[in-house]
Structure 1
């Protein structure tokens, strides 16, 4: 039996995506994503922020470079990857990243109008690099829009 490696995050970009082009024209985008949670400890509100290293490839990286900016709120899905490398002194180091498979920009409509007037609705992208505007949630079993199958 295979395992499951699935990560879902909702957070804010710590900086604009850094885009690189590898041999063969393969695009790679990377950026830090901050997720925060708040809890009470001894009557005080404590906020804890976790930083995640996000990597996007090919069409998804191209889309991210056009639409994602520092501070934007994004929902993303991907998988956890840990890689090893040697530093300059020859010590083995490890880096854990989230390899994104798709993302959806979140926030108010006005957050996107100023940058892309023709992309004023929520943008969803996946590794194919294709984008779709989502107006209604989908029922993933039937493929119909959720409000088309509700009896009320």
Structure 2
């Protein structure tokens, strides 16, 4: 069996990068995915202006090493990306001794679906940007 996740959405905030004591790069960001909201009969809901009402879900994405560097260099808030990776569940006890749980996507690949930061660099061409 394989733990595989594929998500396409919009980056919610500027990626945050850190380096471990052993020198590994880690970059994290949030990704918003949306789908149409439906009523009890399965019909897509519309607002007063006739636009589709959407349910948005937020996902925590974590990248390592080369993928982490590329994301840190080229991904920006609002950019459309596709993430391929796997689910990773965590459990910890907070300072108040309450057991907490979390889930994140450990990204193996991030594909750019729109241009992000770095595309406006002096001397840069589209061939310089890893799509």
Does the 8 Å contact 1:112/1:120 carry over to 2? Answer: no
Query: Normalising by the residue count of structure 1, what TM-score does the alignment of the two structures yield?
Result: 0.71
1 or 2, which has the higher helix percentage?
1
Deviation at 1:92, TM superposition (A): 1.1
Question: Cα deviations across residues 32-72 of structure 1 (Å, max 9, x unaligned)?
Answer: 10001124536523211000000001111111100001110
2:32 corresponds to which of 30, 34, 37: 34
Report the count of equivalent residues: 121
Higher relative contact order at CA 8 Å, sep ≥6: structure 1 or structure 2?
Answer: 2
Counting only pairs closer than 5 Å after superposition, residues 32-71 of structure 1 correspond to structure 2 as: 32-41=30-39, 44=46, 45-71=52-78
Q: Is 2:124 the counterpart of 1:118?
A: yes
The alpha-carbon distance between structure 1 residues 25 and 112, as it changes in their structure 2 partners (threshold 3 A), is closer
1:20 corresponds to which of 18, 21, 46: 18
Structure 1: give runs of 5+ residues left out of the alignment.
125-152
Query: Normalising by the residue count of structure 2, what TM-score does the alignment of the two structures yield?
Result: 0.81
